[in-house]
Amino acid sequence: MKSSKDQYSPAELAIKALREKARTKRRELREKRRNAAYFVKVNKKAVGTADYIASDKGFIKKNRLPPHFKSLINNCKRFVFSKRCHTDKQGKYRSISLRGRRRLFNVLLVLLTNCDFLSGQVGKPKIGHMDTTSHDAMMLQYARRFGDAISSSTWYRYIGMLDAMDIYFSKEIKLYGEDGVTVRSEASYKWLSKSFLQGIGAFTDEVMASIKASYQKAVNKGLSFVWREHNSPVNYRPTPDLFTPYSYGSAPPQ
């Protein structure tokens, strides 16, 4: 049995170092979620399902979400709690307990508060491009919103459920090095489906008017809702917006 560094090849040592780095990162992220959840819970800053941004500040005026969120959150809750079962990716019929529906709603609410409703894209608009939002970042938001440090296994289980229900879609991003061979992952492209958003009333006149007003306000500040293009291998084409036929990288519909 190998017991010293001398008994491992350079390649094996590199793999071991990468695995240890990954374990350390996962441990640090878990601790960060636990600390965030504990802080908002103890200080009564957890906003829960209210139409506020998840933060350490709680119910402050500037963290109030735009008007359309109140209606969308309420409709989303009704939508989720009406679902007593679903069919998984293997075609198996699965019941959803009341506790499961609560958790499903909470996970979906985090996605909803990161969604651009004109495209369905889940991410953060910035100057020049829209950033994809990682699952780790959303799990941290979950901790701050509900005062509950959700585990990654639980989070991904419910993400898988939303995927099976055709509510959530994603496309991985691979970044290629200059050698054309080296690959590393970036936070994936993510969407909420048009049928789901339609089902919770995102396209009704009153709600859409608020969505467009909020969108325009962000654009006026120089923010972009177009995802950044990453370097990629020859013949690779990223998945376009799921709603409309406009090409990847062009401006979303007005």
Reference 34, options 138, 143, 141, 139; nearest CA is: 143
Q: Please indicate, yes or no, if residue 229 is contained in any of the structural domains.
A: no
* pLDDT tens-digit profile, the chain (254 residues): 445 556 878 777 777 777 887 788 889 989 999 999 999 999 999 999 999 999 999 999 999 999 999 999 999 999 999 999 988 888 889 999 999 999 999 999 999 999 999 999 999 999 988 989 999 999 999 999 999 999 999 999 999 999 999 999 998 887 766 655 555 667 889 999 999 999 999 999 999 999 999 999 999 999 999 887 765 444 444 444 444 433 333 333 33
Q: Please indicate, yes or no, if residue 37 is contained in any of the structural domains.
A: yes
Q: Please indicate, yes or no, if residue 228 is contained in any of the structural domains.
A: no
Q: Please indicate, yes or no, if residue 44 is contained in any of the structural domains.
A: yes
The total domain count for the chain is: 1
Q: Please indicate, yes or no, if residue 237 is contained in any of the structural domains.
A: no
Predicted confidence at residue 250, as pLDDT, reads 34
Domain that holds residue 144: 11-123+134-171+190-204
Query: What's the pTM?
Result: 0.82
Q: Please indicate, yes or no, if residue 6 is contained in any of the structural domains.
A: no
Q: Please indicate, yes or no, if residue 248 is contained in any of the structural domains.
A: no
Nearest-angstrom CA–CA distance, 111 and 123: 9
Q: Please indicate, yes or no, if residue 112 is contained in any of the structural domains.
A: yes
